[in-house]
Chains A and B, each alone.
Chain A
Amino acid sequence: MTVKELVEALGLTVISGATGLDKEIAGGYVSDLLSDVMGNCDAGKIWITLQTHKNVMAIASLKDLSAVILVKDLKPEPDMALQSEEEEIPVLGSSLPTFELAGKIYDLLN
């Protein structure tokens, strides 16, 4: 499944980085601890978080993640959105809280 297909399936908002929507999704990871993602999340996954600062994109880029999804209608800080555009890694938004969103995505990917 591509990021674009996930967006369409769940009605997610594309906040930034739309040029990266064709990336394939290898799986998902849920964490708000950056070192946890750094140490344990694999390339190609989507990262569900409530962190909205620029360092999220630094990690998404270093780990070659496919997209970042912000829960509960959270919005990225401007420099996070900017880096998402530059790196072509989409930042997506959902109104759902983490548990519900992760459950829906898990169903779609498995």
Chain B
Amino acid sequence: MVFEFEVQGGDFATAGNASSQIKKILKQLNVDHHDIKRIVVALYEAEVNIVAHAYKGRITANIDTSEVRILLVDEGPGIPDIELAMQQGYSTASSEVREMGFGAGMGLPNMKKNTDEMRITSIVDKGTTVELIVFINQTTS
């Protein structure tokens, strides 16, 4: 099953709406709740990154019985040094965004920690693409 969501850059009032929708869908599909938790953390961080850094973006969630694959494609400034951006505590967020409690440089590490695979590609001044993959319902118990 494929679900698509649009994300508007700078619109913090709606940040998290796509994550919330996908969480509801995963619950309805009876996905293991530990898997849902991991997906929600990673996806929310990625969604907020589009809001905080990009002009706009599109989230495409592919859900099947063994994995959830989420693609986030944004139009924005891009990430010049992905390795640096991955470091805990590194952030380029504005002071307004930081005052809200975002921009602590924990988003990308949270995404990495809560996914089985994560790929980031970026072109400066064009945008960033993030792919999040979580294997689901793997427990045999």
Chain A, residue nearest B13 (CB): A54
User: Mind listing 16 A-B residue pairs with CB under 8 Å?
Assistant: A33-B106, A34-B101, A35-B107, A38-B45, A39-B110, A49-B101, A54-B13, A55-B12, A55-B100, A58-B17, A58-B20, A58-B44, A62-B20, A62-B44, A63-B40, A79-B13
Interface size on A, residues (CB 8 A): 19
Given A35-B45, A35-B107, A59-B44, are A54 and B12 also a contact pair (CB < 8 Å)? yes
Interface size on B, residues (CB 8 A): 24
**Chain B binding site: helix, strand, loop or mixed by DSSP?**
helix
Interface of A with B (CB < 8 Å)?
32-36, 38-39, 43, 49, 51, 53-55, 58-59, 61-63, 79
Q: How far is the CA of A91 from the CA of B106 in the complex (A)?
A: 25
Interface of B with A (CB < 8 Å)?
12-13, 15-17, 19-20, 23, 37, 40-41, 44-45, 48, 100-102, 104, 106-107, 109-110, 113-114
Q: How far is the CA of A65 from the CA of B16 in the complex (A)?
A: 15
**A residues near B104, Cβ cutoff 8 Å:** 33-36
